[in-house]
A = this chain, B = another copy of it.
Amino acid sequence: MTNTDQELNELVEPKSVRFDEVLELESSGRLDGYTLVYETYGTLNHDRSNALLVCHALSGDHHVAGRYDNSGKTNGWWHHLIGPGKPIDTNQFFIVCSNNIGGCSGSTGPSSVNPATGEPYGTEFPIVTVKDWVYTQTKLSDYLGIAQWAAVIGGSLGGMQAMQWSISYPDRLRHCLLIACAPKLNAQNIGFNDVARQAIRTDPDFHDGNYYQHQSAPARGMRVARMIGHITYLSEDMMGQKFGRNLRKKAKFDYEFTPEFEVESYLRYQGDAFINKFDANTYLLMTKALDYFDPAADTGDDLVKAFEPMKADFLVVSFSSDWRFTPERSREIVRALQSNKLNVSYAEVTSPQGHDSFLLKIDDYTRVIRSYLNRIAREPRPCSDLLDKGEQNV
């Protein structure tokens, strides 16, 4: 296959599916039907055993791989990881990624029209949780005829969804890849989330969540929220290496409130860029889902017990400089998996880029993913209709 063929192969279009069932949510809220937007890459094999589900994180979406055109600007957020011959090889696997409900990229969310009112949901959109997302992803799996995923994969909030899959639907995945995640947020994580939420919710343009009707958006709040987020995604060392105390296009201070340091420009730029890319209500919902996630809450704070239903094999990956979800929190997951006698591989990747590492092209990280995916590709595959792990279609 030539490079051009490969590139052509990577052109994708989002698809969507409507589910007209009533969706009862963990929050006691409900949706009278919902749409999921998703993309697929590669080809589902005859026995439907080569399907991988990727779950996205806070500000991610369904466009995880491929490209919408050849400009390079519309590459999926894991473009370097997923594609023909790439670590998650579309020549081997059929990969699916959907936009979570509550999202703002096409799946039913706060900016969608509420059929009951004919207006955008706004704050009428109910709180959604990781469990809800995973449930809706099972509906998409059924629709695609995928009884069991070869693997469910996610980083950060996406990893929490993968974790929940292996607890709630242990027979529906053979492998689970948990990257840069944690078994629950700690007080500091929740604190940062709440500051971001308060920045958005107290912006006068928030209009109690119904800003769509006011042709406005809480841009100031979103900007501040994203700036805070970015600091927590980067490591202190990386910020030091990348920006240090470098001045912005000048040799000495202006002693003004315009940006003096490069790091100020960078964060403001990231904040500004986010305003038009993401819906504030979705940002609020995603941070709440992060806060609520805590599988051990159902088992008296016992993570080992919470993991008892699991059957999958696991790859857990953490990054040395991630202070949002430190390697220690991945090790906590690993220990609880091991206590359940599950097969676990664990890699702590040395990288200076902090939590953001899970989105980046880092050689050691890429190698770990490639190697684990190769292992999945080589292993005997079960019949799709024989979900008992014991019966395999070698």
Contact = CB atoms under 8 A, between A and B. Distances in A.
B236 A201 contact: no
A379 to B, nearest CB: 38
Nearest to A268: B198
B240 A187 contact: yes
Given A204-B204, A294-B245, A190 B261 contact: yes
Nearest to A184: B245
Contacts of A260: 291-292
A224 B288 CA distance: 18
A187 B263 contact: yes
A191 to B, nearest CB: 5
A198 B271 contact: yes
Interface centre among A195, A224, A256, A268 (most CB of B within 10 A): A195
Contacts of A261: 187, 190, 194, 291
Contacts of A284: 257
Contact of A188 (B26, B195, B202, B231): B231
Interface in A62-105: none
A240 to B, nearest CB: 5
B201 A257 contact: yes
Contacts of A263: 187, 190-191, 194
B240 A224 contact: no
Contacts of A288: 255, 257
Interface string A219-242: 010011001101100101001101
Contact of A202 (B195, B223, B294): B223
Given A29-B255, A257-B284, A220 B195 contact: no
A203 interface: yes
Contact of A245 (B28, B186, B220, B243): B186
Given A231-B188, A231-B192, A245-B294, A223 B240 contact: no
A2 interface: no
A220 B236 contact: no
A260 to B, nearest CB: 7
Contacts of A220: 202-203
Contacts of A240: 186-188
Contacts of A3: none
Nearest to A241: B187
Contacts of A127: 255-256
B198 A239 contact: no
Interface in A272-291: 284, 288, 291
A14 interface: no
Contacts of A257: 197, 201, 284, 288
Contacts of A231: 188, 191-192, 195
B227 A198 contact: yes
Contacts of A223: 198, 202
15 contacts: A27-B253, A184-B245, A187-B236, A187-B239, A187-B242, A187-B261, A190-B263, A191-B239, A191-B263, A191-B267, A194-B227, A194-B263, A194-B267, A202-B224, A224-B224
